[in-house]
């Protein structure tokens, strides 16, 4: 499906484009006006040709001997008009592109500044492709609008307006007849758009089924090859394609005839044929001379291209409307509430308290009435079946989002009264999903402390057991991630630990940092963490219970509630959920573990 059809199928918010373009609307209108007047002036040569022909066929005395003074003046005026028109069009394009540069720069900055201030949990529910679409694809779509739409419409309208005025000035009777094909174009084009709108939802649904079938087939390729189910794997995709073929036929059948008729009406040869037929009749009746028909022959077919151009840019406007709606939705993303300067407080120590904490994703309640304390210098582990809410607790402590009820305090201060930058100086984290930026290894480690010295960065890398691996890279710490620095999952985790080491926070959150790495990497990561975690307040999200048997406090969650709480030996003696998880060898078997 074409981009314009996709855009036409997307619900739009009225006025989205108007609001976004408000800062540069005046410059865009000026650009459109300049190109409109420029396009009008570039048509002077056509009028000049008709004028010269009239002089020549009128039998002027100077015509046989050479160009008369009047002809030379006419040609000079046409040349000046053409050059002036081209200059005005160039000026209009320049104004539009400068306005577009200003607009896209400030729009991307506004999106970036907004995303910097949204809760980090907002990104968990969105694919990076969504943000990329808004910041890159949708802004690029608006570039077509701001840099080209107004100037294109200006040129087209300028040509149409001046041409119609000129034709009516020449002879209003022939002008009416010469313009008759154009209402026919709009009639059939309207029918085509109506038929398209009636079937567009079915068309979009068919395309979606094909996309899903392709993704399912590609993702399932290893299973298909392993079990030899090629026929079954192809069946879903083949069925989706066959259904779409029927849908496409139903979608295009009413369009073909209407669009063919519409295009036939304004084909230059059709318009020229109408002009010649009407002109011949007028000449036969003695109402006009052949020379007087010439302006209509030259100018009228030239109206076809601007009309088709307006039809094309109308689709660009549809795409831009949908893009503007998505950008505005992104710019309205709720922000993470920052405390007022007068309300900012500093934590007294590294004690963390969760007080009657609850959290819900929409209608789904994830955590319910949690209360416990992370005492300074101790390790607290949170365990439980999959989906119990373990990682949600960690993300609330890191303020990826705020709790629905209750509160979390650090050093006696509610997290919502601590500046975000200050919060992450007190709480460091090593999560299972590591994110490295496209920058040097040095910059990746110093992400939280850009002013750190090279010695400090290397010391952090040594603690994280990654220094020697970095030195083996082509350019060492100057190697760029994704170019001449490629890291395994375990090595990325150790870089993440080096980041946390460099920040040196009193509180550290570990969300199963070794869950997805091999045994060798796990040993290296555990060694790094054991050195770094000394004398810090630790919150460990554990999927493998053997990693937390020495924790001073183990919190057992089930369905978002605290089921049990205590040390490893105490919990085993109770014979509850923790003991059953220990017997099963882990936490990720919720269907095999009864609730507490």
Q: Which tens digits make up the pLDDT trace of 27-47?
A: 999 999 999 999 999 888 888
Residues 205, 76, single domain; the answer is no
Inside any domain, residue 7: no
Instruction: Considering only residues 63 and 33, tell me which one the structure prediction assigns the higher pLDDT.
Output: 33
The residue out of 319, 336, 353 marking a domain boundary is 336
The span from the CA of 495 to the CA of 325, in Å, is 39
- Mean pLDDT (whole number) for 103-119: 80
pLDDT band at 206 (very low <50, low <70, confident <90, very high): low
Predicted confidence at residue 6, as pLDDT, reads 39
Residues 258, 321, single domain; the answer is no
Domain that holds residue 158: 13-170+306-336
The set of residues, in sequence order, having a beta carbon less than 8 Å from that of 468 and lying 6+ positions away, is none
Predicted confidence at residue 594, as pLDDT, reads 40
Residues 204, 166, single domain; the answer is no
The angle at the Cα of 151, spanning 146 to 154, to the nearest 5 degrees, equals 135
pLDDT band at 149 (very low <50, low <70, confident <90, very high): confident
The span from the CA of 107 to the CA of 111, in Å, is 6
Residue range 377-400, pLDDT digits in tens = 888 889 888 888 888 888 888 888
Query: Any idea which residue has 């190697």 for tokens?
Result: 479
Residues 552, 461, single domain; the answer is yes
Give the residue from 325, 330, 329, 324 showing the smallest Cα distance to 139: 324
Helix (H, G, I), strand (E, B) or coil at 376: coil
Inside any domain, residue 297: no
Residues 230, 256, single domain; the answer is yes
Inside any domain, residue 563: yes
Containing H/E element for 8?
helix 3-8
Asked whether the beta carbons of 444 and 498 are under 8 A apart, the reply is no
Instruction: Considering only residues 153 and 66, tell me which one the structure prediction assigns the higher pLDDT.
Output: 153
User: Domain tally for the chain?
Assistant: 3
Inside any domain, residue 184: yes
Inside any domain, residue 554: yes
The span from the CA of 432 to the CA of 511, in Å, is 6
Residues 144, 246, single domain; the answer is no
Inside any domain, residue 293: no
Predicted confidence at residue 590, as pLDDT, reads 40
Inside any domain, residue 558: yes
In angstroms, the Cα distances linking 72 to 67, 76, 545, 549 are 6, 6, 97, 101
pLDDT band at 348 (very low <50, low <70, confident <90, very high): confident
What CATH code is carried by the domain that includes residue 406? 3.40.50.300
The span from the CA of 130 to the CA of 504, in Å, is 34
Predicted confidence at residue 13, as pLDDT, reads 42
Residues 279, 377, single domain; the answer is no
Residues 123, 29, single domain; the answer is yes
Residues 205, 110, single domain; the answer is no
Whether the predicted pLDDT of 226 surpasses 60: no
Residues 509, 365, single domain; the answer is yes
Inside any domain, residue 195: yes
Predicted confidence at residue 1, as pLDDT, reads 38
What CATH code is carried by the domain that includes residue 163? 1.20.1560.10
Residues 82, 187, single domain; the answer is no
Residues 418, 528, single domain; the answer is yes
């Amino acid at each position: 499906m074409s981009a314009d059809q996709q855009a036409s199928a997307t619900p739009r918010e009225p006025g989205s484009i108007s609001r976004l373009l408000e800062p540069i609307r005046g410059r865009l209108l000026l650009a459109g006006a300049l190109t409109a007047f420029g396009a009008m002036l570039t048509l002077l040569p056509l009028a000049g040709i008709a004028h010269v022909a009239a002089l020549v066929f009128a039998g002027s005395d100077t015509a046989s001997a050479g160009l008369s003074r009047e002809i030379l003046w006419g040609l000079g005026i046409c040349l000046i008009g053409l050059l002036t028109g081209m200059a005005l069009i160039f000026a209009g394009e320049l104004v539009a592109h400068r306005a577009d540069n200003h607009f896209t720069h400030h729009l991307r900055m506004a999106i970036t500044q907004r995303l910097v201030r949204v809760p980090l949990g907002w990104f968990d529910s969105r694919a990076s492709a969504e943000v990329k679409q808004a910041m890159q694809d949708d802004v690029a779509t608006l570039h077509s609008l701001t840099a080209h739409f107004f100037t294109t419409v200006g040129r087209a309208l300028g040509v149409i307006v001046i041409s119609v005025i000129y034709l009516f000035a020449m002879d209003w009777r022939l002008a009416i007849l010469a313009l008759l094909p154009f209402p026919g174009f709009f009639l059939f084009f309207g029918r085509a758009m109506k038929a398209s709108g009636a079937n567009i939802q079915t068309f979009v649904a068919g395309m979606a089924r094909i996309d899903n079938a392709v993704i399912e087939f590609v993702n399932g390729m290893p299973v298909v090859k392993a079990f030899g189910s090629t026929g079954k794997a192809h069946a879903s995709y083949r069925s989706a394609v066959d259904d779409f073929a029927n849908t496409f036929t139903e979608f295009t059948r009413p369009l073909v005839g209407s669009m063919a008729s519409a295009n036939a009406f304004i084909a230059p040869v059709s318009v020229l044929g109408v002009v010649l037929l009407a002109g011949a009749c007028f000449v036969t009746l003695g109402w006009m001379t052949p020379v007087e028909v010439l302006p209509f022959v030259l100018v009228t077919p030239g109206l076809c291209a601007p009309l088709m151009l307006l039809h094309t840019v109308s689709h660009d406007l549809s795409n831009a409307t949908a893009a503007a709606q998505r950008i505005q939705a992104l710019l309205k993303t709720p922000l993470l509430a920052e405390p007022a300067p007068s309300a900012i407080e500093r934590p007294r120590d590294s004690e963390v308290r969760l007080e009657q904490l609850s959290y819900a994703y929409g209608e789904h309640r994830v955590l319910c009435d949690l209360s416990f304390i992370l005492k300074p210098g101790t390790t607290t582990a949170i365990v439980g079946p999959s989906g119990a809410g373990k990682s949600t607790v960690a993300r609330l402590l890191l303020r990826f989002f705020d709790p629905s009820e209750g509160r979390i305090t650090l050093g006696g201060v509610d997290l919502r009264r601590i500046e975000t930058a200050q919060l992450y100086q007190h709480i460091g984290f090593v999560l299972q999903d590591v994110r490295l930026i496209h920058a040097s290894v040095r910059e990746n480690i110093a992400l939280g402390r850009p002013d750190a010295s090279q010695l400090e960065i290397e010391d952090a890398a040594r603690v994280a057991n990654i220094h020697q691996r970095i030195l083996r890279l082509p350019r060492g710490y100057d190697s760029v991630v994704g170019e001449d620095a490629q890291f395994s999952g375990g090595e990325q985790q150790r870089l993440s630990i080096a980041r946390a080491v460099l920040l040196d926070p009193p509180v550290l959150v570990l969300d199963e940092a070794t869950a997805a790495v091999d045994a060798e990497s796990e040993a290296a990561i555990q060694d790094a963490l054991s050195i770094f975690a000394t004398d810090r307040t630790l919150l460990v999200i554990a999927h493998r219970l053997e990693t937390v048997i020495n924790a001073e406090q183990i919190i057992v969650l089930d369905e978002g509630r605290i089921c049990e709480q205590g040390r490893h030996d105490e919990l085993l003696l109770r014979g509850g959920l923790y003991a059953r998880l220990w017997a099963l060898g882990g936490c990720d078997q919720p269907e095999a573990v009864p609730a507490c």
